[in-house]
Amino acid sequence: MSSRTAAELIVECLENEGVTHIFGIPGEENIRLVDAISRSSISYVLTRHEQGASFMAETYGRLTGKAGVCSATLGPGAINLLLGTADAITNSTPLVALSAQVGMNRSFKESHQGVDLTAMFDPVTKWSALVATAGAVPEMVRKAFKLAQTERPGAVYLAVPEDVEKAEVAEESRPLAVNVPRTDEPSPAQVERAATLLRSARNPIVLAGHGAARAGAGEALRRFAEAVGVPVATTFHGKGVFPDDHPLALGAVGFMRHDYVNFGFDAADLIIAVGYELQEFDPVRINPDGDAKIIHVHRFPAEVDANYDVSVGLASDIGRSLDALADAVGPREKTAGGERIRALLDAELARGASDDRFPLAPARVVADTRAALGREDIVLVDTGALKMWMARLYPTYEPNTCLISNGLSTMAWTVPGAIGAKIACPDAKVLVATGDGAFLMNSQEIETALRLNLPMVILIWVDDAYGLISWKMDLDIGHNVDTAFGNPDFVAYAESFGAVGHRITAAEQLLPTLREALAADTVSVIACPVDYRANLELIESLGDIDESLT
């Protein structure tokens, strides 16, 4: 036997997997693991809440494609990791959650802080397991990362009992070699079947989803669309995988039951779904009668759904499938209709940019946010009424530059998520767009960002209520109840952390304030009052919100 402990072996295995950061809070039962990390090449990012740690890890994983890692002690610490872990699995994001657990010597009986964590994490992970022996560490860590990162990516959880963590390991125990699956070629027979459908289609349309962004298929998608003359819409998760200023771009499928982009699907007789996953939004919104033919292009077969009845599936590398399909089809007449949709979206955003009302019109906030950020800068959009406005109207030009949680649609992930984003993409400007309700749920991570010297801007859309719920109540029952609350002085609150605070008191102040804050080398918090009466104006023109996206 050597003097190495299982904790040290775990860290060796994490280094072997290429882990550079672990987000978490230490506890009595995992002090050896945290100590081993401190002596490794891995940076331990001390957070102010384990939930924040899980959101940081999730966002890091989404932007890098490598599993983000979060860590906690047993019991309540581990349970606090659960929300970000569930968010990761529903957002198809690679994440490995590690926590301590009671020792094996007391796991069989009632015990202080002892709950069945593996059972708790099982429904929201690809694999949830207990590291019952020190000798199992190399195989279990390798399996955890392989599962987390392999399509379809998601979350994995490992519980490490306290007595296992400090146990000595055999001299020969070493990390296992990391292997990466080879990209696969599309089936020629399936490509020809898909090409036959596309040649005969009168009004084909592409729907690009999260899988296309994960696969780095943006350039292949652009080549395909230009070669065959097909317009491209995206899901919220797919925003930016096809640039919104491209002549064939239709924008994101909307928050509303029938938004402008849906016009393109109304006439479609063929939908080419590229990296689309059903949890992104209900396919009934684009294929209500189930009569459009569907070509499913992804690394794995489609989920079964009455409104997503796949005619041909190309289950292989997305980029290679698109190139092969374009070659098989050859040039065809461009599908019409995209210009009208783009014009409607552009006009709505332009009207917003010139709207000088105060509190600000939501479209004005979107327009100024877009004007302040570069094409490759990152905005994280929280859940709430602002999500509808940002997802619909914010033009996006690069994948993973407008981040939205639309699997679980979790509130309050953006402030901690911005820390993960800034670590993953240190050269990008990072802006959080959050409601006042979501902001205060995880605002304590401002201290973490300042301590780590991670500049970012937090733009709070202030309406003193849970605005989306108020909106839905007004629509469904004619009034709203128990959604309004009071807020602190956000400027004073930011300054109490040592951040910079800004208060918007007129519409023309927002854009210069955003530019000033983005140029500052610190955390800036901007409180911007918003007039959500515009929600009802939108309802009158487009119809009800889609409850599957709220």
Whole-number Å distance between alpha carbons of 88 and 128: 14
Of 202-206, 345-349, 355-359, the range with the lowest mean pLDDT is 345-349
Q: How confident is the model at residue 474 (pLDDT cuts 50, 70, 90)?
A: confident
User: pLDDT tens digit string along 145-189?
Assistant: 999 999 999 999 999 999 999 999 999 999 999 988 777 889 999
Q: Which helix (H) or strand (E) holds 439?
A: helix 436-439
Global pTM value: 0.94
Task: Give me the pLDDT at residue 545, please.
Answer: 47
Range of weakest confidence among 44-53, 138-147, 380-389: 380-389
The amino acid present at 476, given as its one-letter code, is D
- In the sheet that holds 378-381, the strands lie side by side as 402-404, 378-381, 430-435, 456-462, 523-529, 500-503
- Dump pLDDT digits (tens) for 101-141: 998 888 776 777 679 999 999 999 999 999 999 999 999 99
Per-residue pLDDT at 2 exceeds 60: no
Q: Residue 382 has what pLDDT?
A: 98
Whether the predicted pLDDT of 22 surpasses 80: yes
pLDDT bin (cut points 50, 70, 90) of residue 415 is very high
Per-residue pLDDT averaged across 27-49, rounded? 97
- Residue 521: count of CB within 10 angstroms of its CB: 6
Calpha distance 309→294 (Å, rounded): 7
Task: Decide: 227 and 333 in contact? Cβ < 8 Å.
Answer: no
pLDDT-derived band at 548 (thresholds 50, 70, 90) equals very low
Of 53-62, 99-108, 490-499, the range with the lowest mean pLDDT is: 99-108
pLDDT at 109: 66
Average pLDDT over residues 429-453: 98
Residue 202 to residue 184: CA distance in whole angstroms: 31
Q: What is the mean pLDDT of residues 429-446?
A: 98
Nearest to 20 by CA among 67, 84, 55: 67
Q: What local confidence, expressed as pLDDT, does residue 44 receive? A: 98
Q: pLDDT at position 543, please?
A: 54
**Is the confidence at residue 1, as pLDDT, over 50?**
no
Q: In angstroms, what is the C-alpha Rg of the chain? A: 24
CA distance 52 to 46: 10
515, pLDDT greater than 50? yes
Kindly report which listed range (19-33, 213-227, 253-267) carries the lowest average pLDDT score: 253-267
pLDDT value at residue 324: 97
Mean pLDDT of 67-80: 97
Give me the mean pLDDT over the 33-41 stretch: 97
Tokens of 543: 């119809």
Among 326, 376, 377, 343, which Cα is nearest to 223's?
Answer: 326
In this predicted structure, which of 108-112, 333-337, 497-501, 528-532 has the lowest mean pLDDT? 333-337
Q: What is the mean pLDDT of the chain?
A: 92
pLDDT band at 412 (very low <50, low <70, confident <90, very high): very high
Give the tokens for residue 385: 């009424």
| Mean pLDDT for the stretch of residues 325-349 | 82
- Helices marked H in 184-317 — which ranges? 188-200, 210-214, 218-228, 262-266
pLDDT over 70 at 547, yes or no:
no
pLDDT (0 to 100) of residue 469 = 86
User: Using an 8 Å Cβ cutoff, are 196 and 187 in contact?
Assistant: no
